[in-house]
Chains A and B, each alone.
Chain A
Amino acid sequence: MPRTLHAETVLGQSLFQKISNCRVLMVGAGGIGCELLKNLAMSGFRQIELVDLDTIDLSNLNRQFLFQKQHIMKSKAEVARESALKFNPNINIIAHHANIKSPRFNVEWFKSFDIVMNALDNLDARRHVNMMCLVANVPLIESGTEGYLGQVTAIKKDETECYDCQPKPVRRTYPVCTIRSTPSQPIHCIVWAKSYLFSQLFGLPEDDDDERLEAEMTQENVKEIENLKKETQALKQIREAMGTADYPQKVFKKVFTDDINRLLSMEDMWQNRKSPVALKYEEIEKLVTEGNSQLNNTEESNTLKDQRVWSLAENFVVFLDSVRRLSEKLMKEQANNPNASLSFDKDDPDSLDFVTATSNLRSIIFDIEPKSQFKVKEMAGNIIPAIATTNAIIAGMIVMQSFKILNEKLNECKTIFFDGSRRPQIFLSESLNPPNPECRVCNNTHIILKVNTKKATLRDFLDKVIHGRNDDMDIGEVIVEEGGRIIYDVEYDDNLDATFEQLQITDGKLVSVKPDDDIDEQNSSIFAISHRDFETPNTWFQVDGEPFATRNKISVTKSNSFSKQKRKLEESEVDTFEGLSRKRPAMNEEILVEDDDIIVTDSGTQKLIVID
């Protein structure tokens, strides 16, 4: 009896044939990915490509069943492929240990698939795949889980909502001054420990740190911003003592004593706030030698070791020790590579010890409640719970949706919400919505632009592709953007004679062009760049599609005058907008909580999930 008989019987011949011929792209080989790869293989899919950037970690093993202890640190994509082939030698799996955003995964590559399935854990990659699938016009099945919650939906250009049609929660950010000078919540101290002190001591020196500070400068805080800059400089000097026996002590005294005393001298700051209390190294050291640290005591009751909140003395000891451990680690790496640096990893015990102790010491200084290591890990690492059961259910749902798409019954696909912790309704489903006309991502014209990126300049692009098409339909002034930065607008023409390559607009990049008079940003054209070695200026471009196709449906003159009027009315508003963000679009003005795993929020009744 052939291996696939069950599937063939239940699915029927015709669908089964489509499945066998279908080329699937799976993005992500984590929690959902492992389950999905298994289900695809067992359902008769025979041509699967798999992309994942990650390596396997111990904390994956409670659910990512294609991985075992001996695979820790290896590529998820490659091990998933090997494990799946062990059980299903007859299928063709290509694994890429790579970032899905890398240029080699360009639009043409996306176009080579019949269906794309996302099993991702972050917003950024999801948005990217969403965009690529829109440009390539390939159906996408999007999914996510968090603990007992899960979600699956299908996305198809011009037929359904895209991933960005519904606004996504923005990343939580905190003003620099709150983090650096006036924390009032545990999370402020954790962000400081993880994003500021950790990277100052062990990470790459952050060149943009000063810029961030300046971005927040107001008349009231000019002085404080200057001080913070000096503080960072002083810390950089201390960093040179790394490796010496008293390095941890020096860092301690700098950040927990001197800097706090400096803050205290800013009396204005504490008029309406509780003032911090600097820590004294010698006093705490005395506490420790007197044995007030319960570090090695056995724990009472059945609380886990890391679920107890440490005392001042414990935090002190762990801080010094983790600084020493991380310094040693960094110096060892620098012996091989002088540019080596460490980055915070929630699953690395040294980093986690450092962030726990550091944030708690800072909390004690500012009279904020300290947290247990378990809790700090959750907050610093943005940890979301994950189990095998939910992933298995969601992966099963993804495959069910793919059957419908292959049967050309997109209308039968649903957005499915799963909640395993509530009764009695386990699944909720909603029909797919049509594209949101307000969406700036999918309500665009998507075009593949084959171009010699080494030769063609921005001026060539504007002359030949944007303006040179048809005089009657000329689009007027435009704004050109790539990856969130402005390349060109009517007041910014510095780049006109730079080539695509010089502007870092290379193979696989997406360039957005929108009419300058289009305030709602609803008529952009997205050009997917595909490099070709075209040789003559006349053929530096090949445009697959018609830019501004939707716009051209309306009479140009009419829309122009209408927009001009509109613009006049809103001029002051638009100017402010330009002043604030257009000139510095890519710069982030606040310290971010890096989301390597999350961001989840309620959007109305739909619990929208990102994750695993």
Chain B
Amino acid sequence: MIIDKKTQKYDRQLRLWQASGQTALETAKVCLINGTATGCEILKDLVLPGIGSFTVVDGKIVEGSDVGNTFFLVSDSIGTNRAQAVTEFLQELNEDAKGFHFSEDPVALIENQPEYFLQFSIVITTDLPEKPLLKLADTLWNAKIPLVIVRTIGFIGYFRIVLPEHTVVETHPENVIDLRLDVPFPALEQYVNTFNFETLDSMDHAHVPYVVILLKYLKQWKQDHDGKLPSTSAERNEFKQLVQSGRRNVDEENFDEALASVWKACAATKVPHHVEEIFKNSSCDSITIESSNFWIIARAVRDFVSNEGLGLLPLAGNVPDMKADTSNYVAMQNIYRQKAKEDISAVRTRVHDILNSIGRPAEFISDDEIDSFCKHASFIQVIRYRSLQEEYITEPKKLDIGRWLQDPQANIVHYVLIRAMDRFYESHNRYPDAATYFLEDDTEEVSEEAKNEFNTLKTYVDNLLREWEITNYPEHLDNHIHEICRAGSSELANIASLLGGMVSQEVIKLVTKQYIPMNNTVIFDGVRSTSSSYIL
């Protein structure tokens, strides 16, 4: 039973996203626009866990300042193509990931040949100006390819995820146990009826699974209470007393477990609200040949709920560890598993019918995928992101931004400055940066040049605020404008590392379709060590 080398190498991460996540990662093709310090950190954190391939698109030549903030560049790299130089070093990190480089100006490439980017599963940009960014975002949006926009300025990090829709089945919730204690299905009820507590000897009595104990006493409770469950806390306490009364001695751990689960037993099993919302989505109503697997299965599950599911989602079938002898435990596990199997099979039939109706073969969606969906049905997630077009042009979140800006501690201020810097760049073809900021060391007196930079950048900030109809100027903005003029667009290696970790984590979530990614903008402030997320 030798574990293969690959499983050994990736062991510590397989415990987070399993073989299925690893396969998704290994088939993903990532494109990085601009091999900046942050860009390299992002790729490093994707190459190490074994991303399928990465391509660096960058037209720049390596300069001294690149070597100063990018670990992977050495003095000898100066003067070479940055795309090639960083790719070579990143490639050394993991032979499983295939590295490619394209030494072409990304701005020109987006302008002339945007379809180039359609070959990738995800595109990440660092330091891309606003105009080409909007065009790239448009192209990728139409092709449903995720785009992650990343910026690092001094102590500030920013990233934004753009994608029409992201659906997640494996969200990795903390607790996935669904025991149907309030609504036992017939097979479970029959099994519980096979237990006669009075006749059990002391060993068997101490090994009755707690699920059986609860179901037994709930049945008794319901008989005495018009078929209703204990609902108030007084009733729950009364029910606890009832369970306690059946206990023969304090050593019976199974009774401890039963008592600890009383509140769960009294909670009604139902379709969670957020899943109901997903079922109401128009994508769930109109299934066409364009529909993704997620929506086809979601529709099948919705139909299952309103028919043979009797208002409930398919049963996941997991049974937690509990104090029980193995034969009872296994018997009970089999009853839950059998029910889960029946539910899955019903959903599968519905999926096949839907596929048939849109002219797809039954094997278009694998049984594994249907199984997984059914097991996670209570936890599925759909994120609809806002497009960059909406954020920048058609529907900027004027009111929200104005409101958020009132709080001087809020990180939204950095967003305003990043947008203003982009405007600055648009006109001057460079970012604000006063070469000599203070006239002398240890004085607060700023240079003439710095004052000019400040005033120019402030004009762009004012323009933005005007566009957003924000009338009262938040005074704290000035400090931040100063800071940008002082530090320029310098990337701090340390912040690059931090942001690189945050972004690659989101990329892994998007690519593996596991865990729930951020929606849609995250701003990180290194000085205060805080981060905020905004829907912009």
Contact indicator B9/A61 (Cβ below 8 Å): yes
Complex CA gap A347/B498 in Å reads: 30
Which of the listed residues A62, A414, A421 has the most CB atoms from chain B within 10 Å of its own CB?
Answer: A62
Say which residue of A7, A272, A383, A416 sits within 8 Å of B11 (CB atoms).
A383
Complex CA gap A237/B194 in Å reads: 50
Kindly list chain A residues whose C-beta atoms are within 8 Å of the C-beta of B491: 6
Contact indicator B68/A387 (Cβ below 8 Å): no
Complex CA gap A12/B203 in Å reads: 73
Contact indicator B3/A65 (Cβ below 8 Å): no
Contact indicator A388/B531 (Cβ below 8 Å): no
Q: Is there a chain B Cβ closer than 8 Å to A579's Cβ?
A: no
Q: Is there a chain B Cβ closer than 8 Å to A386's Cβ?
A: yes
Complex CA gap A318/B3 in Å reads: 13
Complex CA gap A539/B374 in Å reads: 78
Q: Is there a chain A Cβ closer than 8 Å to B422's Cβ?
A: no
Kindly list chain A residues whose C-beta atoms are within 8 Å of the C-beta of B9: 58-59, 61-62
Give the residue name and chain of the A residue nearest to B49 (CB).
Answer: A62
Give the residue name and chain of the B residue nearest to A317 (CB).
Answer: B1
Kindly list chain B residues whose C-beta atoms are within 8 Å of the C-beta of A423: 516, 518-519, 533
Report B500 CB to chain A, min CB distance, Å: 6
Say which residue of B13, B71, B92, B207 sits within 8 Å of A42 (CB atoms).
B71
Give the residue name and chain of the B residue nearest to A350 (CB).
Answer: B2
Q: Is there a chain A Cβ closer than 8 Å to B41's Cβ?
A: yes
Q: Is there a chain B Cβ closer than 8 Å to A604's Cβ?
A: no
Contact indicator B497/A395 (Cβ below 8 Å): yes
Contact indicator A63/B64 (Cβ below 8 Å): no
Q: Is there a chain B Cβ closer than 8 Å to A519's Cβ?
A: no
Contact indicator B12/A63 (Cβ below 8 Å): yes
Given contacts A65-B48, A389-B501, are A59 and B8 in contact (CB under 8 A)? yes
Say which residue of B1, B50, B203, B326 sits within 8 Å of A353 (CB atoms).
B1
Report B442 CB to chain A, min CB distance, Å: 8
Report A454 CB to chain B, min CB distance, Å: 47
Within 8 A of A (CB), among B144-189: 154-155, 172
Contact indicator A302/B12 (Cβ below 8 Å): no
Give the residue name and chain of the A residue nearest to B73 (CB).
Answer: A87
Q: Is there a chain A Cβ closer than 8 Å to B529's Cβ?
A: yes
Given contacts A147-B16, A306-B7, A367-B325, are A389 and B502 in contact (CB under 8 A)? yes
Report B194 CB to chain A, min CB distance, Å: 19
Report B415 CB to chain A, min CB distance, Å: 15
Q: Is there a chain A Cβ closer than 8 Å to B63's Cβ?
A: yes
Given contacts A61-B9, A383-B12, are A400 and B1 in contact (CB under 8 A)? no
Kindly list chain A residues whose C-beta atoms are within 8 Å of the C-beta of B498: 392-393, 396-397, 400
Report B206 CB to chain A, min CB distance, Å: 7
Contact indicator B531/A3 (Cβ below 8 Å): no
Q: Is there a chain A Cβ closer than 8 Å to B126's Cβ?
A: no
Within 8 A of A (CB), among B1-56: 1-5, 7-16, 19-20, 23, 37, 41, 44-45, 48-50
Say which residue of A59, A86, A395 sits within 8 Å of B12 (CB atoms).
A59
Which of the listed residues B9, B11, B207, B486 has the most CB atoms from chain A within 10 Å of its own CB?
Answer: B11
Say which residue of A41, A306, A395, A400 sits within 8 Å of B529 (CB atoms).
A400
Complex CA gap A61/B64 in Å reads: 30
Kindly list chain A residues whose C-beta atoms are within 8 Å of the C-beta of B65: 1, 5-6
Q: Is there a chain B Cβ closer than 8 Å to A35's Cβ?
A: yes
Kindly list chain B residues whose C-beta atoms are within 8 Å of the C-beta of A302: 19-20, 23, 368
Contact indicator B530/A388 (Cβ below 8 Å): no
Contact indicator B44/A42 (Cβ below 8 Å): no
Say which residue of A4, A38, A387 sits within 8 Å of B497 (CB atoms).
A38
Report A176 CB to chain B, min CB distance, Å: 20
Say which residue of B23, B325, B441, B502 sits within 8 Å of A393 (CB atoms).
B502
Q: Is there a chain A Cβ closer than 8 Å to B87's Cβ?
A: no
Q: Is there a chain A Cβ closer than 8 Å to B94's Cβ?
A: yes
Contact indicator B49/A7 (Cβ below 8 Å): no
Q: Is there a chain A Cβ closer than 8 Å to B505's Cβ?
A: yes
Complex CA gap A280/B518 in Å reads: 56
Q: Is there a chain B Cβ closer than 8 Å to A10's Cβ?
A: yes
Q: Is there a chain B Cβ closer than 8 Å to A378's Cβ?
A: yes
Q: Is there a chain B Cβ closer than 8 Å to A109's Cβ?
A: no
Kindly list chain B residues whose C-beta atoms are within 8 Å of the C-beta of A378: 15
Say which residue of A1, A7, A58 sits within 8 Å of B492 (CB atoms).
A7
Give the residue name and chain of the B residue nearest to A41 (CB).
Answer: B71
Chain A proximity mask over B482-493: 1 for CB below 8 Å, otherwise 0:
000011101111
Contact indicator B530/A38 (Cβ below 8 Å): no
Give the residue name and chain of the A residue nearest to B5 (CB).
Answer: A58
Say which residue of B3, B10, B531 sits within 8 Å of A426 (CB atoms).
B531
Contact indicator A387/B13 (Cβ below 8 Å): yes
29 A-B pairs in the complex with CB atoms less than 8 angstroms apart: A2-B68, A3-B64, A6-B490, A10-B492, A42-B71, A42-B493, A42-B494, A59-B11, A61-B94, A68-B92, A87-B73, A318-B1, A352-B3, A369-B329, A373-B1, A373-B3, A383-B15, A387-B13, A387-B505, A388-B49, A388-B501, A389-B45, A393-B505, A397-B529, A400-B527, A414-B529, A426-B518, A427-B531, A429-B529
8 shortest A-B CB distances, which residue pairs? A396-B498, A42-B493, A392-B501, A1-B64, A393-B501, A385-B15, A389-B505, A386-B12
Please report A residues at the B interface, Cβ cutoff 8 Å. 1-7, 9-11, 13, 35, 38-39, 41-43, 58-59, 61-63, 65, 68-69, 86-88, 147-148, 185, 271-274, 295, 301-307, 310, 314, 318, 347, 349, 352-353, 356, 367-369, 373, 377-378, 383-393, 395-397, 399-400, 414, 416, 420-421, 423-424, 426-427, 429
Please report B residues at the A interface, Cβ cutoff 8 Å. 1-5, 7-16, 19-20, 23, 37, 41, 44-45, 48-50, 63-65, 67-69, 71-75, 92-95, 154-155, 172, 202-203, 206-207, 321, 325-327, 329, 368, 441, 486-488, 490-495, 497-502, 504-505, 508, 515-516, 518-519, 522, 526-527, 529-531, 533
A62-B50, A424-B519, A427-B529 known, 16 other contacts, Cβ within 8 Å: A6-B37, A10-B155, A39-B493, A42-B493, A302-B20, A306-B7, A314-B1, A349-B1, A373-B3, A383-B12, A388-B504, A393-B498, A396-B497, A420-B505, A423-B533, A427-B530
